[in-house]
Amino acid sequence: MLQQKRLKNLSKLQFFFTLGVLTIFAVSVLNMASRMLIANFIEVGKNNSEFVYRFLEQEMIKDYEYGNVIIENDFVRKYVDMPDEMVITFYANYYLQEVSDEVEDIESMAIISYNQPDEYLSSDGSKHIILQDKTYFESHEYYISPFNTDNSEDTIYYVQMPIRMNDTIKGIVSLEVSYHEFEKRFINENQYHETGAFQIAGMNGNVLLMSCETLPVTYDSDILLNAIREKGGIARIDNQYYYANIRSFHSQDLIFIYSQGKTELFEIRSRILLQIVFAYLGVIIVYTILHFLSGVYYSHRILEDTKIVLEETVEAKTKVLKRQIRLDSLTQIYNHAFLVELLDEVLLSDREVTVMMLDIDYFKQINDNYGHPVGDQVLKEISHLLLDSIRTEDSVGRYGGEEFMIILRDTDLEVGYRVAERIRKDINAKAFSENEIKATMSIGLAQATNETSLELIKKADRKLYESKNNGRNLTTK
């Protein structure tokens, strides 16, 4: 009764301890949930930035490829060489119009001949902002202008590529690229939750591309740059959280901005907290019910558990005793008594059985020269070698002293002889113990006909002594 009372008191102590731990967990989960949500917010911002940046690069490569196609056109090349030829000018201009109609992202295309730099062909008649430094193209394949906005506030930039003829730069192709379609496909249509948004701004804070027109079109760049440098890219402006990072796009640094409303961000946290509170209450209720029910059956459970422990203890000790009875204490392979018992069972199966008797030659000299501990080590190592040399269905044991016995199941005398020879040669080739002792073994073989186990052992033992008498290190069958 005293023990049962103590156990009940311990159970109550465990209950209140668990209740206290759960309470601490519920209190601390607010900060943990906040950190998790901020970390997730940053991860989403990084992923969105990488997604948009990757497609921005792909769009630039596509524009560069359009420029290459225009450069290779015959009329374009003839125009930059002979801009005064009216027929050539007509066909070059017609080609520009045709390409411009097919490519929706390119707002305007122009061909400028250095033979006549003040007058150039434009697909829509608009004026292009031309790179004036002609020497730039001596070391560059193309020029990418910084992002800018046109009169309609659409974000544009220029891709300009040199037209070379006989290693001489004759003119350039200028593409005025509009990012209205890019903004629509890869920014507007992306999913940013209910209040989330994505923007790309210049280092001056002016927004170039955006997914939501209700957001600011300019930012205090100092706030964003300070957030990037000191706060891991996180900034809070009014009721909006921002994640910003700087990406370099062809020598122009751009600020990629992901934002989400404070209400939505912490609404998710509130939902998580509510779920945790319900789970917390559920654990308490279940624990209380189980604690109540366990009191009713406590005595019975103690008796059952004690009985199980005793049975398991007896079973474990029985297994240990059985193992000790079967195994030789030194070599940990089967002992003499169990080998004879095992052979009796095998002979009852009416299958082919071959018994191998093995004896270490001149083992007494090993004991005399190196001592009995070294001799014991040699016995252990030879036992392991014999165990590794037979199949799982075969059996090996120490018959006595330096003599061993192997039972080969489903094996005739000829096959048994080959196994014995392999074992004998393996022992010849190996050096045993730290003293590198060389040893040999004499082996005798006998196949069962209608003998008892002891008769079969004696039969194999006689063959063993024949090997001994004929000079040792032999196998006799």
Q: What is the pLDDT of residues 15-52, one digit of tens each?
A: 677 767 777 776 777 777 777 877 887 888 788 888 88
User: pLDDT tens digit string along 338-384?
Assistant: 999 999 989 987 679 999 999 999 999 999 999 999 999 999 999 99
Residue 216 confidence (pLDDT) above 80: no
Cα 363 off chain centre by:
56
- What order do you get walking across the sheet with 240-249 strand by strand? 207-210, 197-202, 252-261, 240-249, 234-237
Q: Residue 450: which of 338, 337, 353, 342 has the closest Cα? A: 353
Task: Please give the radius of gyration of the chain, using alpha carbons only, rounded to the nearest integer.
Answer: 46
Strands 168-178 and 155-165: antiparallel
Query: On the CB side of 110, how many CA atoms lie within 13 Å of its CA?
Result: 26
The more confidently predicted of residues 38 and 392 is 392
Contact in structure between 176 and 108 (CB atoms under 8 Å):
yes
Strands 475-476 and 441-447: parallel
Contact in structure between 449 and 455 (CB atoms under 8 Å):
no
Distance (Å) of CA 270 to CA 30, 32, 182: 9, 12, 36
Q: What one-letter code names the amino acid at 35?
A: R
pLDDT band at 428 (very low <50, low <70, confident <90, very high): very high
In the prediction, which pLDDT does 444 show? 96
The per-residue DSSP string of 106-155 comes to: EEEEEEEETTSTTS-EESSSPPP-----GGGGGS-S-EEPPPEE-TT--E
Residue 448 confidence (pLDDT) above 70: yes
Is the Cα torsion angle 453, 455, 456, 458 positive or negative in sign? positive
- Torsion, Cα 77 78 81 85, to 10 degrees, reads -150
Reported pTM: 0.46
User: pLDDT tens digit string along 231-245?
Assistant: 778 887 777 788 888
Rounded Cα distance between 343 and 337, Å, is: 10
Tell me the backbone φ, ψ of residue 35, rounded to 5 degrees: -60, -40
Rounded Cα distance between 411 and 456, Å, is: 15
What does the mean pLDDT of the chain come to? 82
What average pLDDT does this structure show over 81-86?
87
What average pLDDT does this structure show over 463-477?
94
The CB density around residue 209, as the number of other CB atoms within 10 Å, is: 22
